[in-house]
């Protein structure tokens, strides 16, 4: 399958090795039905993030009146598919608006996590020696920092805000990435193809970018998607705890408002949808990353099997 | 770099020791750990257009020797001379020149090509590093030379789509594409099946002749080494114990270890009744083994004097051969043999 697909792509763009690997792996992954479902779901949430506000029937902060009275905690109806909350806002609209901050949280948090983690991990693993020791001890220290209390402290230092809550996540959660990617690099850098490249006179930069990074890419993609999931999850936690801006209508903030109103159990149409959206989005990113790793890693595994 | 007519690549008394991992307690107590003496006083000279083999059992330091030669390890002691110039004094430019002229072929073809790159990209890399133009032409040429025909068929393949023999041909192509002067081959056929071994060996020795390349061929397999090499060095636990032209070594091995090795080569005749090699014991652990002949515990001809390190001397009657064994030279006093460290070196070839 791969053989045909890859040899058919012969224009320059498709032969760029980044494009080639990503396209090739995606194509393979989407042959799996479950992965196809996760992937479609993620595309759907991304779509909501981009166009949700335009699709929303009402502005997210508009208080709705019926006959001059605020429409408080109305159950789902045709006009309001998910009902309204205690101050008369349309929950369906808020859910659509909420996709955007959630996606921003995921992508920003995930990118921060993977970029810090990968920089630290690859540098430590490839340079080795004292640099490795220093970076890994720093990582150990970061491991010792409890996430939620630290986030609360940082937020109180930098002020409560949407972006702050994401940055806090990014500044802490890179630790796992750094460790795992370092161990990957340690394995790869002793392999003969790296030595052969050194023997040909390749510079450190060239080896890292041409040989090391492409070979840890499947792992990095897995961690990127895990990072997206974790960022969304933890941002929701922080929102629930009230250490993020309550004015940006992310799904986490919606759950918190529902909880605060004391209507958590009565107004299920208010608390349940954002909770489920968070759960499904996180699940989809995790599962998607898993299957990318499974399939993109296959090339190497085959080689190992043959060699062994 | 200055040119001279001496050996292309030469080592003088090369040593590579590895530190064992030290625990914090050792550091606190200032306990010196014993070193692993992987390569210990190796002197070899490789002339241009010559193929030399290094043979020895697993763990005797062959691969360490090769990696040190390649400049991937820093030697602990001793010199590596490339065309008479000490690599320890190399600047950036000299290294680049060295990297262009000394190439390596690894043992495991499945792991010596980057799985994420196509064959074209793999072969392109050395050319790009050394700013060589007409890339496409050269790649096609070299693929033809290593008998991957038609080259176009292989260019856009990935390593996982090729067989071991094909991959090893690509490895050879990568090593030869820069037209180097020296090839270091680390058991290039040991992971291939026998029929492929023969064709790769033929190809390698043909190309080495054709392209005027010198080759260092490392292996544990005497039959492949003798097939390719003009001269064989027998290595035991980090030291060269015997060095001789191939035919002479095979016919008349001098060192007891070489004798045992050559006796152990199977003879493809089931009716032939040969004596079995009886070599007792195991290879020592190369950790802090100190002085003395490395082979003494297993040697059938062990003498008292073997507690001292033997000189690496010319065999009488033949100045093309060298052996490191007390059997082959007279000792003035058996109890107090002169300290032999300096004499162990080969006569220096003029470096400048």
Nearest by CB to residue B99, choosing from A191, A201, A211, is A201
What's the domain count of chain B? Answer: 1
Domain membership of residue B54 (yes or no) is yes
Q: What is the pLDDT of residues B77-109, one digit of tens each?
A: 888 888 888 888 888 888 888 888 898 898 888
CB contact under 8 A, B104 and A196: yes
User: What local confidence, expressed as pLDDT, does residue B187 receive?
Assistant: 86
Question: Minimal Cα–Cα distance from A199 to chain B, Å?
Answer: 6
> How does pLDDT run across B108-130, given as a tens digit for each residue?
888 888 888 888 888 988 998 88
Domain ranges, residue B88: 9-20+37-229
pLDDT at B47 over 50: yes
Asked if A210 reaches chain B (Cβ–Cβ under 8 Å), the answer is: yes
pLDDT for residue A229 is more than 80: yes
pLDDT single digits (tens) B207-254: 888 888 899 899 888 888 888 888 899 888 888 888 888 888 888 888
Which ipTM value was assigned to this complex? 0.79
Q: Which of A111-125, A160-174, B286-300 has the highest mean pLDDT?
A: A111-125
Contacts of residue B273, Cβ cutoff 8 Å, sequence gap at least 6: none
Judge: B114–A214 Cβ closer than 8 Å, yes or no: yes
Interface residues of B toward A, Cβ cutoff 8 Å, are: 67, 70, 72, 95-96, 99-100, 102-104, 106-108, 110-117, 121, 125-126, 129-130, 156-161, 164, 171, 174, 178, 191
Name the percent of chain B lying above pLDDT 90. Answer: 1
pLDDT tens digit sequence for B139-160: 998 898 888 888 888 888 888 8
CB-based contact (8 Å) between A3 and chain B? Answer: yes
**What is the CATH classification number for the domain harbouring B78?**
3.40.50.300
Nearest-Cα distance to chain B for A35, in Å, is 23
For chain B, percent of residues with pLDDT exceeding 70: 84
Q: Determine the pLDDT at residue B335.
A: 45
Residue with token string 């992954």: A29
Find the radius of gyration of the CA atoms of chain B: 22
What is the architecture of the domain spanning A32-307? Answer: Orthogonal Bundle (1.10)
Residue B271 banded pLDDT, cuts 50, 70, 90? confident
pLDDT score of A116:
94
Distance from CA of A180 to the nearest CA of B (A): 20
Instruction: Look at residue B23 in the predicted model and tell me its pLDDT.
Output: 66
Q: Which of B2-11, B133-142, B213-222 has the lowest mean pLDDT?
A: B2-11
How far is residue A39's CA from residue A33's CA, in Å, rounded to a whole number? 10
- DSSP secondary structure of B244-274: EEHHHHHHS--SHHHHHHHHTS--S-TT---
* Closest CA of chain A from B143, distance in Å: 18
Starting from the edge strand earliest in sequence, which strands make up the sheet with B9-18, in order?
B36-46, B9-18, B77-82, B85-86
By the 8 A CB rule, do B61 and B75 touch?
A: no
Nearest to B18 by CA among B247, B287, B281: B287
What is the SS3 assignment for B335?
coil
Give the model's confidence band at A124: pLDDT under 50 very low, under 70 low, under 90 confident, else very high: very high
**What average pLDDT does this structure show over A88-104?**
84
Banded pLDDT at A123 (limits 50, 70, 90):
very high
pLDDT value of residue A298: 52
* pLDDT number for residue A113: 92
Task: Reply yes or no on whether the pLDDT at B18 is more than 70.
Answer: yes
Between residues B275 and B262, the one the model is more confident about: B262
Mean pLDDT, chain A, integer: 80
- How many CB contacts within 8 angstroms connect chain A with chain B? 90
- The candidate with the shortest Cα–Cα distance to A222, out of A7, A48, A29, is A29
Set of chain B residues whose Cβ sits within 8 Å of the Cβ of A188: none
Burial of B94 (0-12, 13-18, 19+ CB in 10 A): middle
Could you state, in order of their start, the residue ranges of all structural domains in chain A?
32-307
Residue B1 predicted with pLDDT over 50? no
Across the interface, whether the CB atoms of B164 and A197 are under 8 A apart is answered: no
What is the rounded average pLDDT for all residues in chain B?
A: 80
Tell me what pLDDT residue B90 has.
85
Chain B CB contacts of A15 under 8 Å are 156
Q: How confident is the model at residue A3 (pLDDT cuts 50, 70, 90)?
A: very low
Average of per-residue pLDDT across A82-102: 81
């Amino acid at each position: 399958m791969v053989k045909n697909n890859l040899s058919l792509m012969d224009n320059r763009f498709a032969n760029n090795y980044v494009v080639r690997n990503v396209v090739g792996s995606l194509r393979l992954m989407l042959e799996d039905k479950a992965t196809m479902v996760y992937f479609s779901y993620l595309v759907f949430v991304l779509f909501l993030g981009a166009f949700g506000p335009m699709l929303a029937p009402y502005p997210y902060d508009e208080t709705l009146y019926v006959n001059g009275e605020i429409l408080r905690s109305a159950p789902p109806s045709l006009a309001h598919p998910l009902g309204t909350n205690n101050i008369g806002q349309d929950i369906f609209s808020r859910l659509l608006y909420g996709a955007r901050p959630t996606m921003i949280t995921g992508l920003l948090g995930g990118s921060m996590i993977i970029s810090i983690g990968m920089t630290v991990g690859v540098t430590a693993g490839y340079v080795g020696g004292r640099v490795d020791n220093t970076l890994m001890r720093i990582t150990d220290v970061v491991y010792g920092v409890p996430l939620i209390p630290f986030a609360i402290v940082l937020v109180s230092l930098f002020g409560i805000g949407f972006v702050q809550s994401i940055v806090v996540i990014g500044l802490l959660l890179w630790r796992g990435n750094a460790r795992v990617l370092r161990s990957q690099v340690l394995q790869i850098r002793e392999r003969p193809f790296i030595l052969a490249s050194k023997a040909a006179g390749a510079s450190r930069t060239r080896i890292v970018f041409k040989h090391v990074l492409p070979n840890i890419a499947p792992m990095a993609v897995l961690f990127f998607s895990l990072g997206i999931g974790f960022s969304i999850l933890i941002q929701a936690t922080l929102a629930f705890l009230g250490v993020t801006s309550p004015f940006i209508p992310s799904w986490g903030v919606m759950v918190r408002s529902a909880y605060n109103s004391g209507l958590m159990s009565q107004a299920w149409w208010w608390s349940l949808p954002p909770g489920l959206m968070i759960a499904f989005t996180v699940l989809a990113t995790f599962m998607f990353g898993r299957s990318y790793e499974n399939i993109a890693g296959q090339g190497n595994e085959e080689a190992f099997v043959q060699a062994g | 770099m200055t040119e001279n007519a001496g050996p292309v690549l030469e080592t003088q008394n090369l040593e590579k020791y590895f530190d064992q991992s030290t625990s914090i307690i050792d550091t606190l107590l200032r306990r010196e750990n014993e070193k692993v003496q992987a390569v210990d006083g190796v002197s070899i000279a490789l002339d241009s257009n010559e193929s030399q083999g290094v043979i020895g059992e697993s763990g005797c330091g062959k691969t360490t020797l090769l990696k040190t030669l390649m400049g991937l390890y820093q030697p602990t002691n001793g010199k590596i001379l490339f065309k008479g110039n000490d690599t320890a004094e190399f600047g950036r430019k000299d290294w680049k020149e060295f990297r262009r002229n000394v190439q390596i072929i690894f043992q495991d073809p499945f792991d010596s090509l980057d799985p994420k790159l196509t064959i074209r990209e793999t072969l392109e890399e050395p050319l790009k590093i050394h700013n060589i133009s007409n890339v496409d032409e050269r790649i096609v040429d070299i693929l033809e030379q290593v008998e991957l025909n038609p080259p176009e068929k292989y260019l856009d393949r990935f390593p996982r789509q090729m067989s071991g023999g094909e991959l090893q041909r690509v490895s050879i192509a990568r090593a030869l594409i820069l037209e180097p002067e020296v090839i270091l081959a680390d058991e290039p056929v040991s992971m291939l099946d026998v029929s492929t071994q023969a064709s790769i060996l033929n190809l390698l020795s043909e190309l080495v002749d054709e392209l005027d390349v010198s080759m260092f061929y490392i292996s544990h397999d005497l039959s492949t080494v003798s097939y390719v090499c003009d001269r064989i060095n027998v290595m035991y636990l980090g030291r060269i114990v015997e060095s001789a032209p191939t035919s002479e070594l095979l016919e008349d091995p001098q060192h007891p270890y070489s004798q045992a090795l050559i006796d152990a080569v199977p003879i493809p005749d089931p009716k032939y009744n040969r004596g079995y090699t009886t070599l007792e014991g195991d290879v020592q652990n190369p950790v802090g083994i100190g002085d003395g002949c490395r082979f003494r515990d297993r040697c059938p001809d062990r003498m008292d004097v073997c507690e001292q390190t033997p000189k690496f001397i010319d065999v009488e009657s033949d100045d093309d051969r060298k052996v490191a064994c007390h059997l082959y030279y007279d000792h003035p006093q058996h109890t107090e043999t002169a300290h032999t460290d300096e004499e162990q070196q080969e006569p220096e070839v003029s470096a400048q």
